[in-house]
Each structure stands twice: as C-alpha cells, then as structure tokens.
Amino acid sequence: MKKKTVRDIAQMKGREKIAMLTAYDAAMAGLLDECGIDILLVGDSLGMVVLGYESTVPVTMEEMLHHVAAVRRGSPNALVIADMPFGSCQVSPEQAVANGIRFMKEGGCDGVKVEGGGDVCATVQALVRAGVPVMGHLGVTPQTAGLLGGYRVQGRSREAARRLLADADLLARAGVFSIVLECIPEELARLITERVPVPTLGIGAGIHCDGQVLVTNDLLGLFDRFTPHFVKKYLQLAPMIREAVSGFRDDVRQGAFPGPEHSFSSDTDFSDLAGT
Ligand code: KIV
C-alpha cells in the first residue's frame, strides 16, 4: 500500500468514495490502516470516547499530541489528521499556526481539522500559508455546540442552509483540502458537495457526500448507552466485552484460570527450597 497524501484525497472527489474513521491509539490505527481506511482522524472526540470528559471542550493540545503521535506510529499508510482542540486556534491565526506546526512536527500528522465557517477563514489561510493542510468542519461543530443550541441538526431552514453554503464556499477559497459536514440535511449536503471543489466527508449528512466518517467506537458498538441516529453499528462489542470479562472474573474466582496450558514449568527440583 502507498502512503496517502492530501493530494490523493483531493483527487478522489468525483472518482472514488473516501472512507474516514477516528483513531486514538496505535493498535486500533494499525487495524484500520490495514483495512485500507483512507483517512484516520484523531478527533477531539478523544475527550468523550477515551478520556471520560463530558464534552470535547476540556481536551488540551498535550492530550491530543500524545494520541496523534500514537496513531501515526500505528498507521503507515492512511492520511492522519489531528483535530485542533478548543482553545488551540481561537486566540489568533499565529496561535493556530504555532499549534498546527506542533501537530505536524511532534505528532507526525499530515494536517489538521478546524471547526467553523467564515469566522475561521483567516486561521485557515494562515495555516495553509505556513504549510499545514487543513480540513474544514461545518454543520454541528461540537466545540461550540452550546452556541448552536446543543447537538441539533443544522441547516434545516433556507436561511441556515444559505449560510452553510456560503461558509463552505469561503472555506474552499481559504484553502481547505476537504470539509467534514456533520448532521445536516442530505439535500443540503448534496448542494455543498456539488458546489465546492474539495471533497466533503459526511457524518449524519447523507449519501451524496464524497466520503463518510464515523467514530470508530460507535461503528464497533463499544458504547451502547445510546446510538446517534446516523451511526451504523457493524459490531456489538460492548456486550461481547462484558461477557468475556465476566468469564475471566468467574474463572479467577473459581480457580479455573490459569490452567496448565497457561503456566510455566521447569526441570529444576525446587522442593528443597520449601521453608528456606
Ligand atoms: O472529533 C471527532 O471525532 C470529529 C468527527 C465526528 C468528525 O470531529
């Protein structure tokens, strides 16, 4: 397999659908990479999926860097994108460039993702000028979900749809190489996809996007307290894990593990060591 580049992804628009998943550690990144996933996103969903935060807001640069570097080590072929966490790019374009460069130098990733529309264009331009490829993110933008009235489908009215179309245009002109569209009506996602020259990656945005992205833990059914409407679970891992771990617990309690096949022996006679 050949290492994917930003250019490869850009060239897939209109030719081949793009498969993107989130990854947070080297072991899972290796498996996803082996399966030919085009883009691995180290999302700031890290905060909720792995670190136990209530939202993505508390996630820091240091936490992200730790996981981005792990994903890069596990993934030789996929394009690895680091989410810029809340507070890492909002202060000024200079701050964004400094953190974007850290992600590429210390994390070894191929680019970053920035949430927002027209309001982040100066930041996107500064990053791209500094040599940091940028993926945009429109629709539901979890870092500012509070301002949007929570995790609600965006772009349902004509006015809101017009704003999202304009934001997509602005991002494309600012130099993003792709745009995530999260939780918007599929007809609006089609309009945006037809309009912008860069690939769109949908999550809850219907079939017409140039590619699709899911949180890997959702796809694998690792979390089963609720399932967002747009998630397709390809596996139900949570009950399987509970069953396996309960089996281990019972075996330990009943003295059924470890068996002889899991234990070591030696030709040395240790019997005279008893009581020494
Ligand atoms: O943080 C994340 O995982 C994301 C995806 C849901 C696109 O932004």
pLDDT in tens, the chain (276 residues): 799 999 999 999 999 999 999 999 999 999 999 999 999 999 999 999 999 999 999 999 999 999 999 999 999 999 999 999 999 999 999 999 999 999 999 999 999 999 999 999 999 999 999 999 999 999 999 898 777 777 899 999 999 999 999 999 999 999 999 999 999 999 999 999 999 999 999 999 999 999 999 999 999 999 887 889 999 999 999 999 999 999 999 999 999 999 999 999 999 999 999 877
What is the whole-number distance in angstroms between the Cα of residue 117 and the centre of ligand 1?
Answer: 16
Q: Would you call 156 helix, strand, or coil by DSSP?
A: coil
Q: Is 180's C-beta closer than 6 angstroms to any atom of ligand 1? A: yes
User: CATH number of the domain at 6-239, out of 3.40.50.720, 3.40.250.10, 3.20.20.60, 3.40.50.10150?
Assistant: 3.20.20.60
**Local structure of residue 15 (DSSP, 8 states):** T
What is the whole-number distance in angstroms between the Cα of residue 79 and the centre of ligand 1?
Answer: 15
Task: Pick the atom of ligand 1 nearest to 49's CA.
Answer: 3
pTM of the model: 0.96
Nearest CA to ligand 1 atom 1: 43
182 is catalytic: yes
Strand duo 134-139 + 111-115: pairing: parallel
Of residues 16, 62, 159, 182, which has the active-site annotation? 182
The β-bridge partners of 203 are: 182
Q: Would you list the domain boundaries of the chain?
A: 6-239
Per DSSP, the residues of 24-73 read -SHHHHHHHHHTT-SEEEE-TTHHHHTS--SSSTT--HHHHHHHHHHHHH
